[in-house]
Amino acid sequence: MKRSIHALLPALLPLLALARPAPAGPSAPLFENSDFRSGTFENWTADGTAFASGPARKAVRPDSDTTGSIEKGLANNWNASRNLYLQPELTGCDGETFANSFHPETLNRATGALTSIPFVVRHDYLTMQLAGGRAACPGKLAVNLVGEGAILRQALPRGEKFVRFTFDVRDIKGREAQLRLVDDQRLHGGWIAAGSFAGGGSPADGPVIDGKAPVHRKTTARRTFRCDRRYLNIPANRRFPDDAVKLLDDGRVVQELCMSVCDEEKAEFWQFLDLGPWQGREVTLTMAGWSASADPLAGAVLDDRIRGLDHLYDEPNRPQFHFTPPQGWNNDVNGTVYYDGEYHLFYQYDPSRSGLIGRNMHWGHAVSTDFFHWKHLPIALGVDPERGQNYSGSAIVDHHNVAGFQEGSEKTLIAFYTRRMPHMYLQFDFDVDSSDQCMAYSTDRGRTWTHVDKPAVAGITGKNRDPKVFFHEESGKWIMAFFIRGGYDIYSSDNLRDWTRLSHARGFHECPDVFQLALDRDPARKQWLVVNGNGEYAIGAFDGREFTEESRGRTVFGRFHATQTFANAPDAPLRRVQMSWLRYDLRDLPCRQMLSLPVELTLRSTPEGPRLFAEPARELAGLRIEERTFPDAGLSSSPFEITGLPWQLTDTELTVDLNGASRLDLTIRGQLLTYDSSSATLELAGSPAKATVHPSGGKLKLRILVDRGTIDVCAQDGRVFLMHVFQPDWTMPVLAATAEGGAAVVEMLAIHRLKPAWKPEAN
């Protein structure tokens, strides 16, 4: 028999009531003043500065610019408004008062903790409301329920609006516990607000934390082992790299890196330490940071390979004669210097593979005897969260031990770099005391480095960086130039430790390089050059105090930055070999960026005056293994093509007599290179690599180098140099050429096959 729904309702209502969620909301305070209703921290204890000003009723909004940033007019402001430095409005809190770690004077730089008195857990559920800034590392901003020396529950803020959280505490009911609010995050959204702590018999609306998930906490770990393999592989993920990992040899720190350590089953990749210099020795590995792992170093394993990189340097898209790190992010070239047969290349390096830059800057390190065959060495300047990051700079050889660091027969290498504190990218100008020009030194040919705590030049503004140090023979002084406010400040020193400001050179931006070159290879006609970070150069005079500019020019074009030349080289001042950061993302590789082809700079006389020329470093000839030459060929609208060559790595030389042609098109593995005679413009399509080139006697002379993913074009024996990254189409001709408006002729054409610099076998 069918019954109507109305007839069934009386029987269903009790069942429906059971199916409904229990009413949300707390039923009682956990202890007196657990909800801060007294307006004080009664029954709570504050440590540090974060909670020092007591409970709050709203966001902290200082009445004045406590940072001084706006009134200083610092150039690093992303937003001229004071709101950049203020706590956002807090909404969604039921309680009248709450704990707030945002400090009225030091703002979100303040750190500390707020701990309750011990109380007995008498409810099934413990509820609270919680808001916070952008946590760089899980656990640094948190509400922890602690007991018996352990974190029993942990809640992490989920944004700048209050969210109600519930701890399921039924399994610890009757035990004693304490609440501990933690702010261990400096800047970068480093604040937490929490209140309405209460207990109840049912969970509230919002996230319920049952305690089964791992808890992020301050962690230390230690392991000792013998270096009987080349690499130590450590499981890692792409979280904020805030775990300080150190390698100690006989108690001395010989390697440092910041990463995010995890258990092997949760690893996204393997981080590694190069143990090459310590083979056969017993070393100690330590870790201090934030982890959810019970034993963070348990997954570290010794191996003769870097795990997860089985085809390292033979990946299909890996450049073969351009420098790339094994994995991770690189940017600026740093510290290029020659010492006793080795060219040292340092570079800005984030080994964490987090995909973000500016918050984990190490100095990577490699050495070479010819600029192309590079040997990777352990990270030179590592990151420690307390000391800070290592931004760009330079390196010198202290031949006469004026700094006093030498410990044997080896001369001391000294790196000068910008140290940034804290361990993250700073958008806040008021932290000028944490942007210093600092020193580190090596007494063992650059294999290990020691940081000098005292800055060489203390911070001046939020954007003072990239120290370039060199010796000025005429004055007998060491000179430092670094970027600050639209130019370079120039300092001098007798001992490399104490520096005096001399002058300011305007019109330059970032990553200075200062050196002398012999005009037309005549050592008696040396001239000073100052090279901007973007490759633009100025020629002039330097008297040891001021740089007097005489002319400006540009030779190298493309999307690159942070050009640096190798100091102390045996063939200076006849040439300087320059490298830079190519600012392109690489595809399908464990590394994301790369460095440019090494080019040798020379200073030559031209009708316009002295000009800088750039050609591939002559050592590139050592990679040539085969050559094909081709007879003269006329060019027209129908393409002249070189096909049937399976070579990937090529060095092509050609001379074209334009003979009145209005346009020349060269296609190299699908990449278009054009020359427009009317505007005298040479251009790589799809690239900022574009420059004015004037043929000599109507002839255009080119040298074109193709690597996996890159193309370099040298025109008119180095008068112009173009750099570009592209995806070669290996099915397309090595070279195809057409001309319009004239009877152009290819007079000379030679294609050289190159071998990989990274692998001994031919390509």
Nearest by Cα to 478 from 455, 497, 504, 459: 497
Confidence band, pLDDT 50/70/90 cuts, at residue 721: very high
**Confidence band of 81 (pLDDT split at 50, 70, 90):** low
Residue 76 has pLDDT above 70, yes or no: no
Q: What CATH number does the domain containing 105 carry?
A: 2.60.120.260
Shared-domain flag, residues 566 and 684: no
Known catalytic residues?
Answer: 332
Mean pLDDT of all residues in 212-228: 92
Does 237 score more than 70 pLDDT? Answer: yes
Decide if 725 contacts 643 (C-beta within 8 A): no
pLDDT at 73: 57
Q: What's the average model confidence in pLDDT over 37-58?
A: 94
The domain boundary, picked from 596, 616, 636, lies at 616
- Token output for 474: 């005429």
Share of the chain above pLDDT 90, in %: 77
Of the pLDDT bands very low, low, confident and very high (cuts 50, 70, 90), residue 83 is low
CA distances from 429 to 80, 359, 456, 508, 741 (A): 11, 16, 20, 20, 57
**Is the domain of 210 the same as that of 258?**
no
The model's confidence at residue 231, banded by pLDDT at 50, 70 and 90, is very high
In a domain, 3, yes or no: no
Q: Is the pLDDT of residue 396 over 90?
A: yes
677 shares a domain with 549: no
Q: Across the chain, what does the average pLDDT equal?
A: 90
Q: How confident is the model at residue 489 (pLDDT cuts 50, 70, 90)?
A: very high
Query: Same domain, yes or no, for 512 and 636?
Result: no
Question: Domain holding 595: CATH number?
Answer: 2.115.10.20
pLDDT of 415 above 60: yes
Same domain, 354 and 383: yes
Q: Over 70: is that where the pLDDT of 680 sits?
A: yes
Tell me whether strands 163-168 and 208-209 are parallel, antiparallel or unpaired: parallel
Q: Is the predicted pLDDT of residue 14 greater than 60, yes or no?
A: no
pLDDT, position 420 = 85
Mark whether 649 and 706 lie in a shared domain.
Answer: yes
The whole-number pLDDT of residue 61 equals: 80
CATH number of the CATH domain containing 729: 2.60.120.560
Q: What is the pLDDT of residues 748-758, one digit of tens each?
A: 999 999 999 99
pLDDT class of 67 with cuts at 50, 70, 90: low
Neighbours of 145 (CB within 10 A): 24
DSSP 6: H
Residue 199 sits in the same domain as residue 288: no
Residue 22 falls within a domain, yes or no? no
d(CA 49, CA 37): 21
> Is 584 part of a structural domain of the chain?
yes
What's the rounded Cα separation, in Å, for the pair 182 and 141?
A: 6
The whole-number average pLDDT for the span 266-270 is 93
Domain for residue 7, yes or no?
Answer: no
Q: What count of Cα atoms within 13 Å lies in the side-chain half-sphere of residue 702?
A: 29
pLDDT band at 187 (very low <50, low <70, confident <90, very high): confident
Determine if the peptide bond prior to 573 is cis (ω within 30°). yes
Helix (H) or strand (E) run with residue 362 in it? strand 362-368
Q: Which of 521, 514, 508 is nearest to 565 (CA)?
A: 514
Q: Are strands 163-168 and 650-657 parallel, antiparallel or unpaired?
A: unpaired
Q: Count of domains in the chain?
A: 4
592, 585 Cβ separation under 8 angstroms: yes
In a domain, 8, yes or no: no
Whole-prediction pTM: 0.90
Which are the contacts of 218, defined by CB distance < 8 A and separation ≥ 6? 139, 184, 288, 289, 290
The answer to whether residue 6 scores a pLDDT higher than 70 is no
Can you tell me which residue has the tokens 């609270």? 128
Per-residue pLDDT tens for 567-597?
A: 999 999 999 999 999 998 888 999 999 999 9
Among 597, 616, 635, the domain boundary falls at 616
pLDDT at 692 over 60: yes
Query: For the residues 454-480, what does the mean pLDDT come to?
Result: 92
The conformation of residue 759, written as its DSSP 8-state character, comes to S
Mean pLDDT over 707-734 rounds to: 96
pLDDT band (50, 70, 90) for residue 320? very high
419 inside domain: yes
Q: Is 1 domain-assigned?
A: no
Residue 396 near residue 367, CB atoms below 8 Å: no
Whether the per-residue pLDDT at 78 is higher than 60: the answer is no
pLDDT for 48 beyond 90: yes
Return the SS3 of 434.
Answer: helix
Task: Lowest mean pLDDT of 154-163, 372-381, 424-433, 598-607, name the range.
Answer: 424-433
CATH of the domain at 220: 2.60.120
Q: Are residues 86 and 147 in the same domain?
A: yes
Torsion angle (degrees, nearest 10) of CA 600, 601, 605, 611? 140
**Are residues 326 and 367 located together in one domain of the fold?**
yes
Looking at the predicted structure, is the pLDDT value of residue 558 above 50? yes
The predicted structure's pLDDT at residue 638: 87
| pLDDT at residue 674 is higher than 80 | yes
Same domain? 291 vs 369: no
Confidence category of residue 102, pLDDT binned at 50, 70, 90: very high
Residue numbers of the domain that contains 246: 216-310
Question: Which region among 18-32, 49-63, 690-704 has the lowest average model confidence (pLDDT)?
Answer: 18-32
* 177 plus 267 within the same structural domain: no
pLDDT band at 517 (very low <50, low <70, confident <90, very high): very high
**pLDDT band at residue 565 under the 50/70/90 scheme:** very high
Burial category of 318 from C-beta neighbours within 10 Å (exposed 0-12, middle 13-18, buried 19 and up):
buried
pLDDT on residue 728: 95
Question: Where is the domain boundary, 616, 631, 652?
Answer: 616
Tell whether 20 is covered by a domain.
no
Say whether both 496 and 364 belong to one domain.
yes
Q: Using one digit for the tens of pLDDT, what is the confidence trace for 148-161?
A: 989 999 999 999 99
Confidence of residue 1 (pLDDT cuts 50, 70, 90): very low
